[in-house]
């Protein structure tokens, strides 16, 4: 099992007082997933944090932004490697990136 962190972040709409309001972390959860589920999650989070992923545990994945139609806020979810994992889990993060097609 590999521990991952999922973060949901909300970016408020600019208003007359603040052209670029700070984003708000709405939810942060830590889960344990198996290898197959990790590969599926990486495919769902289609945007890696770097243009050429290398398999580093310091790289993360972001989802397609969505809009909260009640407030107009933009919502983005991200998937991170939990650094409380055993060091051996790092190789599975890289292998999952390869299996999901981000690394050739």
**By C-alpha distance, which of 19, 17, 44, 21 is closest to 33?**
44
Low-confidence stretches of the chain (pLDDT < 70) are 15-21
Distance CA 103, CA 95 (A): 9
What's the predicted TM-score (pTM) here?
A: 0.82
Distance CA 102, CA 69 (A): 32
Retrieve residue 35's tokens: 């290898």
């Amino acid at each position: 099992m590999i521990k991952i962190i999922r973060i949901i972040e909300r970016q408020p709409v600019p208003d007359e007082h603040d052209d670029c309001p700070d984003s708000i972390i709405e939810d942060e959860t830590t889960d344990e997933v198996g290898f197959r589920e990790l590969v599926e999650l990486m495919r769902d989070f289609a945007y890696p944090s770097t243009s050429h992923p290398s398999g580093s545990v310091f790289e993360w994945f972001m989802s397609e932004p969505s809009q909260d139609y009640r407030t107009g806020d933009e919502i983005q979810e991200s998937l991170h490697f939990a650094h409380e994992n055993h060091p051996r889990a790092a190789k599975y993060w890289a292998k999952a990136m390869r299996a999901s097609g981000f690394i050739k």
